[in-house]
Amino acid sequence: MILVHTVDDLREKVAAARRAGEKIGMVPTMGALHEGHLSLVRRSQLQCAVTVVSIFVNPTQFGPTEDFARYPRTLESDVEMLAGMENACAKIIVFAPSVEQMYPAGFSTFVEPGTAARVLEGERRPGHFRGVATVVLKLFLMAELDIAFFGQKDFQQVAVVRQMVRELNVPTEIVSCPIIREPDGLAMSSRNRYLSSEARGKAPVLYESLQIAQRLIAAGQREATVIRDEIFRVLTSVEGLRVDYVALAHPETLAPVGEIVGEVAILLAVWLENTRLIDNCVVTL
C-alpha cells in the first residue's frame, strides 16, 4: 500500500499505474473508516487493479455551524485497515492531503452543482453540495481514474455527482454501492460515534420507518403523502427525535413524487440529540 499526501505524488503514482495499463478506481472518503467505506474499496478492487482511497475532511462541504472541527480524524487506524485489504492484484493508494494541498491560499474556484443539489440536503445545508462537487471534481482530475465508487447511503450525493459528470462531460464512470448497516439496521456512518448510548438505542427507528414504508407500498399504497405521514408518525413516536425531512422523490432528479409509479426514492433526515442522521431506500414497483 502506498500513502501519499501531495497532489504531485498522487499524479505520479497514478500515472505509473496507467502506463502499466492498470485500471484505476477511486473511493472518496472523509476517513474514520467503517465497513461501509470498506465495502466500496472491495467493490473497486473487484474491477480495478489500483484503488485510490482519498481521506480528506473537506472543509468546503461543512456549513459554519456544522461539525467540521469535531469530525473524527483517525488516519493511522484508517491506513492500517486499508493495508490489510491490499493484495497483489488489487493495490491501494491512500491519498491523505492537507487542507493547504487541496485549497492553497487564495483558492476561489468552485463547481456550482445542478438541480439535483437544490432540494432536500441542498436546501437544508446551503453550500454543502458546492463543496462536495468541487472536491470530487478536483479528486477526479488529480487521479485520472476510470471508475469512482460512492455509497447509496448518501443518495443525493450520488445524484449530484452523476449529474455533474454527465453535464460537464467528465470521463469517469460512477458506481453506486448498497448501504451497509449495523445488525440492528442503523446505516453505518462516521457520525454514529457522536450518539450517546440512549440515542444509539433509538437510532434504528430510521430504518424501521423505511421498512414500514416499503411494506405499505408492497401492500398497494401509492399515495406519497400517506407513506410520508406514516414515516413521520413512526419517527416522531420516538422521544427526543426531531424530523428534518421525509421525502419521496424521483431517484435521478430528486423531484417530489405524488403518486408512486415505477421507481421511487424515500429519503429522510432526523436529529437525534445534536447528531443529524440520514437514511434512504429505493422502491421499485
Catalytic residue numbers read: 37
Judged by CB under 6 A, does residue 138 bind ligand AMP?
no
Judged by CB under 6 A, does residue 97 bind ligand AMP?
no
Q: Is-contact 55 14, C-beta < 8 A?
A: no
Report the residue number, 7 or 279, with the smaller CB distance to ligand AMP.
279
Tell me the one-letter amino acid at 114: G
Element (H, E) at 167: helix 155-167
Of residues 151, 260, 265, 270, which one binds ligand AMP by CB under 6 A?
151
CA gap 75, 53 in Å, rounded: 12
Site for ligand AMP in 24-53 (CB under 6 A): 29-30, 36-37, 39-40
| Binding range to ligand AMP, per CB under 6 A, among 108-116, 164-172, 173-181, 259-267 | 173-181
Tell me the one-letter amino acid at 101: Q
Report the residue number, 63 or 262, with the smaller CB distance to ligand AMP.
63
CA gap 269, 254 in Å, rounded: 15
Report the residue number, 209 or 216, with the smaller CB distance to ligand AMP.
209
Q: What is the dihedral of CA 154, 158, 160, 161, to 10 degrees?
A: 130
Report the residue number, 120 or 187, with the smaller CB distance to ligand AMP.
187
1: number of Cβ within 10 Å: 14
Task: List residues binding ligand AMP (CB under 6 A).
Answer: 29-30, 36-37, 39-40, 150-151, 153-154, 177, 179-180, 187-190
